[in-house]
Amino acid sequence: MLIINADDWGRDSLTTDRIFECHQRGALSSVSAMVFMEDSQRAAEVAREQGIETGLHLNFTTPFFAPRHSPVLLEHQEKVSRYLLRRRSNQTIFHPGLAGSFEYLVAAQLDEFRRIYGTGPKRLDGHHHMHLCANVLLQRLLPRGTIVRRSFSFERNEKNLFNRLYRKLVDRKLAHRHRLVDLFFSLPPFKPPSRLQRIFSWASQFIVEIETHPINPQEYSYLAGGEILGDLSSVPIECSWPCIRKK
């Protein structure tokens, strides 16, 4: 089955509105919500009213909407963000001095999601995929048994051997505590056209998740304009997340 998920729900009003339009046109299965952001509260109200399937989009790197939140929350995020964005390799290195900050940020976002959505998230992923950073994984900060977004899937020779091996280790670590889809891709690049056709065809045999960002003009046009529906043939977009068993 094919799951099309839009990230950054609630980041700001334009992002929320574009995602909502794509969802209403039948081009999305679900959304991943940011909390403590400019439009988080309204987005939660819309999701609850419309029955939109919503997971938590953990955020360590984009500043929270400061006026509403405590200096302690912002201080923890600033420290973690500075570390993760300093060098790309930092996300693969456990930082013992930031263990408390990572724990605080994950717990705070889980609590806020429960507050505004009325229930805990059954599915988690991360802004800039930082939910897969070493501190989050090694500290086991994500609730056991939840569906967690895996590493990107790549075809043979698309990435170097070390990159593929590292991603395989991350996914193996995730699979001990969480439920994963079979394959995960981003919507872009759109060229060559055969790339998306191959991904769509794999959904006839596997559970495939595709990550989208409708705030990006090309992705928004492809989703809201209905082109994606025309490109699909035998595998329809799943209207909600299925029951995924633990690997």
Q: How many structural domains comprise the chain?
A: 1
- Is 202 within a domain? yes
Say if residues 40 and 116 touch (Cβ distance below 8 Å).
yes
Residue 157 scores a pLDDT above 80: no
Q: How many C-beta atoms lie closer than 10 Å to residue 238's C-beta?
A: 18
- pLDDT tens, position by position, 51-70: 999 999 999 999 998 667 78
- Position 247 scores a pLDDT of 60
- Is 48 within a domain? yes
- Position 85 scores a pLDDT of 97
Residue 150 scores a pLDDT above 80: yes
State the pLDDT confidence band at 176, using cuts at 50, 70 and 90.
Answer: very high
Phi, psi of 17 (to 5 degrees): -65, -40
- Is 240 within a domain? no
Structure-block tokens of residue 47: 């999701």
CB-based contacts of 81, cutoff 8 Å, min separation 6: 60, 61, 62, 63
Residue 112 scores a pLDDT above 90: yes
Q: What is the DSSP string of 104-152?
A: HHHHHHHHHHHHHHSS--SEEEEGGGGGGSHHHHHTT-SPTTSEE--PP
- Is 159 within a domain? yes
- Is 237 within a domain? no
Query: How much of the chain is helix, strand and coil, in % rounded to 5?
Result: 50, 15, 40
The conformation of residue 190, written as its DSSP 8-state character, comes to: -
Range of the domain at 153: 2-231
- Is 245 within a domain? no
Residue 164 scores a pLDDT above 90: no
* Cis preceding-peptide flag for 188 (omega within 30 of 0): no
Distance from C-alpha of 156 to C-alpha of 161, rounded to nearest angstrom:
9
Phi, psi of 104 (to 5 degrees): -65, -45
Distance from C-alpha of 151 to C-alpha of 204, rounded to nearest angstrom:
21
The mean pLDDT of 68-95, rounded to a whole number, is 94
Q: Which CATH number characterizes residue 36's domain?
A: 3.20.20.370
Distance from C-alpha of 202 to C-alpha of 200, rounded to nearest angstrom:
5
Distance from C-alpha of 32 to C-alpha of 171, rounded to nearest angstrom:
20
- Position 66 scores a pLDDT of 66
- Is 246 within a domain? no
CB-based contacts of 78, cutoff 8 Å, min separation 6: 63
- pLDDT tens, position by position, 5-55: 999 999 999 999 999 999 999 999 999 999 999 999 999 999 999 999 999
Closest CA to 142 of 123, 162, 117: 123
Residue 163 scores a pLDDT above 90: no
Say if residues 232 and 200 touch (Cβ distance below 8 Å).
yes
Starting at the edge strand found earlier in the chain, the sheet holding 208-212 runs 147-148, 123-126, 54-58, 30-33, 2-9, 208-212, 183-186
pTM: 0.94
